[in-house]
Amino acid sequence: MIDFLLYLDPGSGSYLLQMIIAAILGALFYIKGIWWRIKSFFMPRKNKKENKASGEDE
């Protein structure tokens, strides 16, 4: 690997790699976004319940 890199510009050698990393990070970001949406779908209801519960106490 190191041998043929001698003939490549140090910057250009990483262009394809960055595209792949950016794609992986993008996918992870997308999955994370879905996860947060699922999480937040349940969270407010839980909060509402808590508020309601505390309101009843008063």
Partner 1 sequence: MNEVRKHPASYKDPAGFIFSLDGKIYRQVNKEYASHYDHLMNSGLYQKLVNSGLILPHIETNLPFADRDNGYKILEPETLTFVSYPAEWSFDMLRDAALLTLKVNLTAIEYEMVLKDATPFNVQVHQGKMVFIDTLSFEKYDESKPWVAFRQFCECFLSPLFLSHYNSAELIKLLSVYIDGIPAGLTAKLLPFRSRFSLAAWLYFYLPGMVNNNQGNKPQTNGGFNKQKLQRLLQHLTTTVERLKCRNENTVWDNYYQETILGKEYLEEKEKIFRSYIDVISFENAVDLGANDGHFSRILSSKSRVVAVDFDHNCINRLYNQAKKSAVSNLIPLVVDLSNPTSAVGFANTERQSFIERCKPDLLLALALIHHLVFGKNIPLSNIAKLLSMMTSKYLIIEFVPFEDIKVQELVKNKDNFHRNYSQEEFESLFGHYFLISRKEKIKGTDRWLYCMSKK
How does DSSP classify residue 58?
A: -
CA distances from 25 to 4, 14, 19, 55 (A): 28, 16, 10, 43
Give the binding range for partner 1 (CB under 8 A) out of 4-12, 37-45, 50-58.
4-12
Q: Does 22 bind partner 1 (CB under 8 A)?
A: yes
Please provide residue 28's backbone torsions phi and psi, each rounded to the nearest 5 degrees.
-60, -40
Q: Minimum Å distance from CB 51 to partner 1?
A: 34
Q: Does 17 bind partner 1 (CB under 8 A)?
A: yes
Binding site for partner 1 (CB under 8 A): 1-2, 4-5, 7-8, 10-22, 24-26, 29
